[in-house]
A and B are shown apart, each in its own frame.
Chain A
Amino acid sequence: MTTIQIKNAMKRYDNGVIAVKGISLTVEPGEFVYVIGSSGAGKSTFIKLLYHELALTEGMIKLGRFNFGEMKDRDVPYMRREIGIVFQDFKLLPRLTVFENVAYAMQVIETPTRKIKPRVMHVLRLVGLEQKLRRFPSELSGGEQQRVAIARAIVNSPEVVIADEPTGNLDPDTSDEIMDILERINSDGTTIIMATHNRELVNMRPHRLLEIAGGRLVRDEEGGAYGNED
């Protein structure tokens, strides 16, 4: 099981701006964690540090057996296979169908062909899109596209899913559906780390809450509610 350990994480950009400073915490396997904070608080930088899109300036992040500070470049792809990532803008490939978009994540890590179809069908059923296999992203609603993105994120059975504002572009009902799916995935033992601005969701579905302000972790509270910070 993958534990995430963060110690004194600090990120300074080339222009000298310090976006994240002195963050230390541990996320145990199977936890559901919200990351909240106002725009410019360092939330996105923090999330990008978690999947090594950005490199730490100081401190340590350890994801299972991968220590980001000591990890070699060639190990990064293998670390990424242990996490699934979901974005606000879905990042689906427009020329591929729903099935192909999800299967693509398995193909690029060279999964044997015979294993791809059953697994893709399984995750598409999980997100309720088994009827829209042959549709292209442009033929789907925003919520459906996000469900494809979630299916792609979990198809390689990662132990951690990092979702960066997954409901940011969706209406409340659709956001609820996405949350249902993420909680279902979480109930199977997958750790979920979700950055969000969505006050209602956080308050309606309480989980551990990390609040970042001015690049620092100002609150780490189990079942915490979204206050009036934003």
Chain B
Amino acid sequence: MKIRTMGRHVGDSLRSLRRNGWMSLAAVSAVTVTLLLVGVFMALLLNVNRVTTQVENDVRVRVYIDANTTKADTAQLKGQLSALKDVKTVKYRSRAQELNAIVGDYGDQWKMFAGDKNPLQNVFLVDTASPKATMSVTKQAAKLDHVASASYGGQTAKRLFGAVDTVQNWGIGFTIVLLFVAVFLISNTIRITILSRSDEIGVMRLVGATNAYIRWPFLLEGAWTGLFGSLIPMAVVDAGYSVVYHSFGFTRAANGFSLFPTMPFLVWLDLALAGIGIIIGALGALISMRRFLRI
């Protein structure tokens, strides 16, 4: 298609948006509400996935050693643990080191447990090759001699992920319903345009305009509706995410977890919102054209 022709189509589609005033506004608003929720969910879900991965990667198996285990048995146990499938590293930490870590994290009052009062056990910290292997490594380690117990910090995380999954599923379901509503509203707007221009379409057909030529302005009108509808969600999500990112100290990976840095994350998110807007707009137009533009 020639550039001049495309320019004419763009002009026609924008004029048509203006001519349909309130209907266009309703369709743009529907897209805005939809994309606002889509944007928030996308930012949330992408970051939840990121943190989930970080948490999973952070999970390590703690193998507690029986209190009366000799040094030789401890060394043997280390060898047995290292030999287990999917075990990457095995690091020994004495009960005194364990207490020091608690004092470091929670304060000096824990020092009262120093020396013989220390109730903690010597442990092996076992890192696995993949997060998925933690459970099997824990089970195997628990069966070894001189092992009091073996656990991994995954149980709590697992419950957390379960809750997050539920939220994700509902969020995705809700978003899909909203996308359908937006497509429906856009297709209605385009239908009105098609009906209001039926005489013109008739003349176009009679003088030999191709179907593609006739369809382009409607397709563009849908795409504009989607694009304009994505502008406010972009601004709101960008501003909101920046506030959350900077205000809640997620900029530093203080506890090993961090959100996506605002750049380039927000650029990709904005492009995704614009893309989704254009796609649902064009989809709405296509539905209308199939039903009401018999050419």
Contacts and interface: CB of A to CB of B under 8 A. Distances in A.
A81 interface: yes
A80 B4 contact: no
Contacts of A78: 208
Contacts of A113: 4
A93 B200 contact: yes
Interface stretch (B127-135, B152-160, B209-217, B284-292): B209-217
A15 to B, nearest CB: 19
A110 B203 contact: no
Contact of A85 (B5, B206, B209): B206
Interface string B175-209: 00000000000000000000000011011111111
Interface string A74-91: 100111110001000001
A77 B199 contact: no
B207 A105 contact: yes
A152 B207 CA distance: 9
B71 interface: no
Interface in B96-113: none
A156 interface: yes
B36 to A, nearest CB: 37
B201 to A, nearest CB: 10
Contact of B208 (A73, A74, A77, A93): A77
Interface residues of A, number: 20
A85 B202 CA distance: 12
A74 B200 contact: no
B62 to A, nearest CB: 70
Contact of A110 (B199, B200, B206, B213): B213
Interface of B: 1-2, 4-5, 8, 199-200, 202-211, 213
A109 interface: yes
24 contacts: A73-B211, A74-B211, A77-B205, A77-B209, A77-B210, A77-B211, A80-B205, A80-B207, A81-B207, A81-B208, A91-B199, A91-B202, A91-B203, A91-B206, A93-B199, A104-B203, A104-B207, A105-B203, A105-B207, A109-B209, A110-B2, A110-B5, A113-B4, A156-B207
B18 to A, nearest CB: 14
A80 B213 contact: no
Contacts of B205: 77, 80
Nearest to B8: A107
B217 to A, nearest CB: 11
A81 B213 CA distance: 14
Q: Which of B8, B202, B204, B211 is packed against the most chain A CB atoms within 10 Å?
A: B204
Nearest to B206: A85
A108 interface: yes
Nearest to A107: B8
Contacts of A80: 205-208
A108 B2 contact: no
A104 B200 CA distance: 10
B208 A108 contact: yes
A51 B207 CA distance: 11
Contacts of B8: 107
A108 B211 contact: no
Contact of A51 (B1, B5, B199, B206): B206
Given A77-B208, A105-B207, A156-B207, 19 more contacts: A51-B206, A73-B211, A77-B205, A77-B211, A78-B208, A79-B208, A80-B207, A80-B208, A91-B199, A91-B202, A93-B200, A93-B203, A104-B203, A108-B204, A108-B209, A109-B207, A109-B208, A110-B2, A110-B213
Nearest to A152: B207
A114 to B, nearest CB: 11
Contacts of A104: 203, 207
Contacts of A77: 205, 208-211
